[in-house]
A and B are shown apart, each in its own frame.
Chain A
């Protein structure tokens, strides 16, 4: 395990990261001008730029029409019924207690007592599970994997409020699941259809009592089942979308579930909770193992492509942990069988690195992590830290290797346009020239950063420029020391000295 001091220097201010080639992150002045010698290889990526205007004012506000009408005081019972529909018992009590001279005195007193009791109870409950006392918007903001969420009004539905997660169904071109305040909406969008605003008739509403707000969704990689989780509900729901049946996976401790992640081979599911525990479900017989973490809840995690290794980070610690699982969980015996302890693979704590223009600070806590489908690049979106880059979230890029031993090497820092914050990062699920990292910047630009390397999954790619055997120019010798390797460097056949340009010629390993 090593620290971030091995990272290559940050790109000069004002430059944006364009792509990775020959083990180097290449920067340019802007996204529109790739260097001329690279034009021949430029893949046709869609250019997306969302203008900020629709993001800032999402159509109309929720209460927008309220101001246009004269305030009319309804009778107490009508208000009670409304409150019952909206909030439940406590709403009714609140309404009765706050009413003036419409109900009998004793009713008012009784309801205010009941309300006090209610509040005390919920306070007690909240002190056990502190996250429950947050408002639902805060819940979503707290547990979502996006730094700063905004809503794009292109699909509209009456129930689509407080969207916290979106998930496209794998092995399908048209099904999108949206996690909303009170339900899950399943949109079926025809990819051939030309209409940009599908009607709300295309949406299918799935709701389950006690399961709101929904903040996390995960489709199984073979497209059969959908998992949904809510920080309020202790159970994870397994949905069969087409028959609209759901099976709760009950768990009586730990409050709720904040984040779900299905391993790419579909055998395991990571479920993090708001308390200092996370669980890994095995996806055949649905048994689970739980891992207590030392401090704080599990913030984010990512699975290796074969589903045998889990990297995760914990809130409050600038570390990346790794947890290994056995190869195949023995023929349907329903066991997870993970390692007993997690190992620390990277230390992301704050360090200073030397750049030509002076010292720069780098490091902090990770906010989200993504691993590319070939298992060779890992991108980490850091939390905003006032000492680092004026509080901007930084994207760190690592090289990884998963077999035969796990290795983590620094690759670089992805930089955007000046003033833009990274909000969400994701890898393309099947990019056959390496990996394709998509970053959603706060300016509304979605930048695609291709990382060209010979992919072990698609070894047919041969770069056109013919300089592949050349060792990478520059970059500094220190970058080739692995941040972490499971074996001792001497005994490893891929020790740092011989593996300087391993990502250029991994075809030999096949």
Chain B
């Protein structure tokens, strides 16, 4: 779709360019210049091959742009490593952008010439027969070597390509700059009405992913640079005296980090058993229900850790599911999921254990059929509340309509297994269809930027609380924070012992495309270590008074002695 639209746009642009240049390119049909046509006095229309060439080049460039867009993961939104004003960022990107598009246009023209040389006769014949145009005998055909070496034509095509690419890249750069601009969320609502926009609410709620990113970025910035807003975080609520802001913020960050720990543990288990791992699901719609269940399953053991009832974990569930939707297909589905599952969870108290066991195995093996069987298991386990089973889990429900697996179904399944095992023996096919290990590792850490910001924000807040927290609100959660960080540290350490995990992909310097998503795991490891060091160096010997398990005490001691 993306490439089709881009090809069409490219063609349109090339047509505009062709019309604008006037002289020999501007229409598709020109009167023939043949001598015999002059004789016959019949105004025969001939195909203007230059015009066709330009149009096709535009289409080709649009298609290649869209292809490169996806190959280079240009839909990944890298947040800048330092804050700068928008104009400065744009000005910095501009020369790079111009150079990049000029060079790329050159390559594309070369490729297109090659393509046209070999395949150019197809569209030419097609157009000329469809529109009843004749070949101009006098002019050399463009799909010959001599025809292609027309410098003026090539120059025009190149210029058109540069223009096209510059326009698109500027759009892309401007979008990136505006989308990643730091936004300031108020910590406390100024009036009661606009409490939806304040930081704890945004972090808690099921807001779109981009808003969560911005909120976490803002949390990181405020924890570093703004003492007055830190003071708001540490403040108590006016009637009642509860540290609602700090509790909400810290709970959110800890939930994020715990989630990452769980993901890493599962990944390691899978790697230990399977050898090769499929990534956790991306935003594929059909895979969402099991993921949802799983998240809830992970939230539930944590619920007692946070000494909270089921409700917050359900809120979290809806929040986690929002992570798997792309930013532009936001909340409604997600909230529906959250609510539906939530009502079911609330209805059946002891539902946790089957949920916990059920979807874990599909996560490990990630085979299609077993995914559905596990769901039917679920359904048969919990028939008490069939009415409250949510309609949004439609893809699961469709399969469940069939009831217990029939003979046909099992036969199909066995056939499928056979085909799969047959295919998996062919090395080449496995090579093409299995995930690259590097890619699966990258997928685990795909949204590590959020975790990095959560780490930085949390550790800066804790470090600042040493001098700024007048009511001691941070001290109550300090043991939880420390244990969460240390557990994550353990999981990350283990993860980096896996094969492929600790090798760095090569770096391309000075290119327009950002490849920082490939190395996010290193950034996470570094910032995790820095976060722990920040807390230990600030608190120093006082950390010995913090309750922690013996193992964690030992680990902390190592950090205190700078031996990590």
Residues of A within 8 A of B (CB): 171-175, 191-192, 204, 207-209, 222-225, 238, 240-248, 250, 266-267, 284-287, 328, 331-332, 334
Closest 10 A/B residue pairs (Cβ)? A242-B523, A243-B516, A171-B533, A242-B522, A173-B562, A240-B81, A242-B526, A243-B519, A223-B530, A171-B530
Closest A residue to B514 by beta carbon equals A245
Please report the C-alpha to C-alpha distance between residue A208 and residue B520 in the assembled complex, in whole angstroms: 20
Given known A207-B509, A209-B510, A332-B226, contact A222–B534 (CB-CB < 8 A) = yes
**Closest-CB distance, A460 to chain B (whole angstroms):** 11
**Closest-CB distance, A180 to chain B (whole angstroms):** 16
Closest B residue to A287 by beta carbon equals B85
Please report the C-alpha to C-alpha distance between residue A242 and residue B526 in the assembled complex, in whole angstroms: 7
Closest B residue to A244 by beta carbon equals B507
Are B520 and A243 touching (Cβ within 8 A)? yes
- Which residue of the partner chain, among A172, A191, A204, A242, contacts B533 with CB atoms under 8 Å? A172
**Closest-CB distance, A315 to chain B (whole angstroms):** 31
Please report the C-alpha to C-alpha distance between residue A332 and residue B229 in the assembled complex, in whole angstroms: 11
Closest B residue to A329 by beta carbon equals B225
Give the interface centre of A172, A208, A248 by most chain B CB atoms within 10 Å: A172
Are B522 and A243 touching (Cβ within 8 A)? yes
- Which residue of the partner chain, among A245, A266, A285, A328, contacts B227 with CB atoms under 8 Å? A328
Contacts A245-B516, A285-B84 supplied; 11 other A-B pairs, CB < 8 Å: A171-B534, A172-B529, A209-B509, A222-B530, A224-B530, A242-B519, A242-B527, A247-B81, A331-B225, A331-B229, A332-B221
Please report the C-alpha to C-alpha distance between residue A223 and residue B526 in the assembled complex, in whole angstroms: 9
Assess whether B283 is interfacial by the CB under 8 Å rule: no
- Which residue of the partner chain, among A208, A248, A284, contacts B92 with CB atoms under 8 Å? A248
Closest A residue to B538 by beta carbon equals A171
Q: How many residues of B contact A (CB 8 A)?
A: 40
Are A172 and B84 touching (Cβ within 8 A)? no
Are A204 and B226 touching (Cβ within 8 A)? no
Please report the C-alpha to C-alpha distance between residue A207 and residue B88 in the assembled complex, in whole angstroms: 23
Closest B residue to A171 by beta carbon equals B533
Q: Which residues from chain B contact A174 at a C-beta distance below 8 Å?
A: 564
Q: Which residues from chain A contact B522 at a C-beta distance below 8 Å?
A: 242-243
15 contacts between A and B (CB under 8 A): A173-B562, A191-B563, A192-B563, A207-B509, A209-B509, A209-B510, A225-B82, A238-B81, A238-B82, A240-B523, A241-B526, A242-B522, A242-B527, A243-B81, A247-B82
Closest A residue to B534 by beta carbon equals A171
Are B537 and A171 touching (Cβ within 8 A)? yes
**Closest-CB distance, A142 to chain B (whole angstroms):** 27
Assess whether B80 is interfacial by the CB under 8 Å rule: yes
Please report the C-alpha to C-alpha distance between residue A353 and residue B226 in the assembled complex, in whole angstroms: 49
Please report the C-alpha to C-alpha distance between residue A207 and residue B525 in the assembled complex, in whole angstroms: 22
Give the interface centre of A208, A238, A245, A285 by most chain B CB atoms within 10 Å: A245
Please report the C-alpha to C-alpha distance between residue A250 and residue B504 in the assembled complex, in whole angstroms: 29
**Closest-CB distance, A212 to chain B (whole angstroms):** 13
Please report the C-alpha to C-alpha distance between residue A437 and residue B530 in the assembled complex, in whole angstroms: 26
Assess whether B83 is interfacial by the CB under 8 Å rule: yes
Given known A191-B562, A208-B509, A243-B516, contact A225–B81 (CB-CB < 8 A) = yes
Q: Which residues from chain B contact A224 at a C-beta distance below 8 Å?
A: 456, 527, 530
Q: Which residues from chain B contact A171 at a C-beta distance below 8 Å?
A: 529-530, 533-534, 537
Assess whether B228 is interfacial by the CB under 8 Å rule: yes
Are A242 and B509 touching (Cβ within 8 A)? no
Please report the C-alpha to C-alpha distance between residue A225 and residue B83 in the assembled complex, in whole angstroms: 12
Q: Mark B454-481, 1 if CB is under 8 A from A, else 0.
A: 0010001000000000000000000000
